[in-house]
Amino acid sequence: MKNGNLTRSGIQFEEPLLFENSTPGRKGCSFPTWKGKKHDIPPALARRQPARLPEISEPEVIRHYTRLSQWNFSIDTNFYPLGSCTMKYNPRLNEEVARYTGFAHVHPLQPQETVQGCLQLMYELERYLAEISGLSAVTLQPAAGAHGELTGILIMQAYLQSKGEKRRKILIPDSAHGTNPATAAFGGFEVVQIRTGRDGILTPEVLREYMKPDVAGLMLTNPNTLGLFERQILEVTGIVHEGGGLVYGDGANMNALMGKAKPGDLGIDILHFNLHKTFTTPHGGGGPGAGPVAVKKFLEPFLPVPRINMLPGGGAASAGGGPASGWSGAPTYALDFDQAQSIGRVRAFFGNFGMLVRAYTYIREMGPDGLQRASELAVLNANYIKARLLPHYHLPFGEGTLHEAVFSDKKQKDFHVSTLDIAKRLIDYGYHPPTIYFPLIVFGALMIEPTETETKSTLDQFCDAMIAIAQEAQTDPEKLQKAPHLSGHRRLDEAKAARELKVRYQF
């Protein structure tokens, strides 16, 4: 792609399902002949009829999955401008370290003395995340950001119950991530939405109207989903604390704050991290993920078990969690299940360990200065895109953009071109569309987040494509309304697809 024009060549396949390629009697694997008797198989394990699997040869299986993999669009193939989702590049160093035998081949049921290096890595990662967030203690158990949110809400609930308080409401600004209200409701709280000001920022005056004795706390995304820093956050968190509530910080956008501001210093009591958004662990494909949660000191007793303890040199961890003989000198690490106020386990074993290795590697490789520089470049890149696209797209909230810029289709609506049309046309230019129609407080939103690793030339090519589309909206709107034109499939009827799901192949 050059100057916004996509050159396409090669062969495109219309890939059928494996079942559609199935031919009776064709085999892709071989098994030894069963020499036992039918009654040797326990009845509970015996099939009453053969498994309904496709019958296909090995080369056909390999070609099928290889062709499907070539359809994948990822951060490794091109610029991925999804706002809010933060599609950060995954450094290959992280992948190499995660594949070290001592990390990749361990089992969660091994005796603790045989996984001391793994426990040390997790213990140190907790300390790093606590330092970065300005909070006191961290759990690594949650499997994703929303899972971290739920863990935080359960901690908030347990803390209030320990004080004998029955507060049932959670305040959530309309600029928050969509998972926030779902998490609060799932945790048993009543969700109360708060309107933000005309500048997209939560105002203390409005918050005071909602801060009643039955309010358990505030869930605050900062920077918010408009890419704006909550400038009055100290006054906001002060109001919640004065009313006896807690402040939950959605740390999904920490990529704009690393090394620049610590949520704990801003009045946040509980914070979750999305390791893929900030610390370069893989994202997408359904997992695995990781959503560590950090808390202030007074909330530490409520963290999930087990906790990781560092023991003085001279003893190793036994299977029961205490010291055992056989080790000396260096500190040893043990899992501690003896936490009376803990909310209990929130994850089988100890979370997605491979993601923790990747995040740890990234933090160690970058160091404090590198993490701060990453935040600076993420903000710089987003503001560069904002500056280039501002003459061509409407920017409803423009003051103080940090890591992402949220435009709308207001200018293109005059030519009967919508956000969806713009997104579909971007596919013809070789780009995955940005996040669209979110946040909901921006009608026709186009949410763009470049992260810190993209070069100026990459950003310029993307902006050139966006500007060309804005010009096409004026000169040839019908072309956008029928986009994409160069993809393997034309525009789908999305309403029909949502209403008439086909999730099972009939054969």
Tens of pLDDT, residue by residue over 150-182, are 999 999 999 999 999 999 999 999 998 889 999
430-435 mean pLDDT? 93
Spell out the domain ranges in the chain: 18-71, 373-498
Phi first, then psi, for residue 81 (nearest 5°) are -85, 25
State yes or no: pLDDT of 341 exceeds 60. Answer: yes
Q: Lay out the sheet containing 445-448: strands in order across.
A: 405-408, 445-448, 435-436
Q: In which band, very low, low, confident or very high, does the pLDDT at 425 lie, cut at 50, 70 and 90?
A: very high
Helices (H) and strands (E) in the chain, counts: 16, 14
Q: Tokens for 379, please give them.
A: 């903000």
**Residues 331, 333, 338, 340, Cα dihedral to 10°:** 80
Q: How far apart are CA 417 and CA 470, in angstroms?
A: 9
* CATH dotted code for 373-498: 3.90.1150.10
pLDDT at 36: 72
Token pair for residue 257?
């704050």
Per-residue model confidence as pLDDT tens digits over 83-105: 988 889 999 999 999 999 999 99
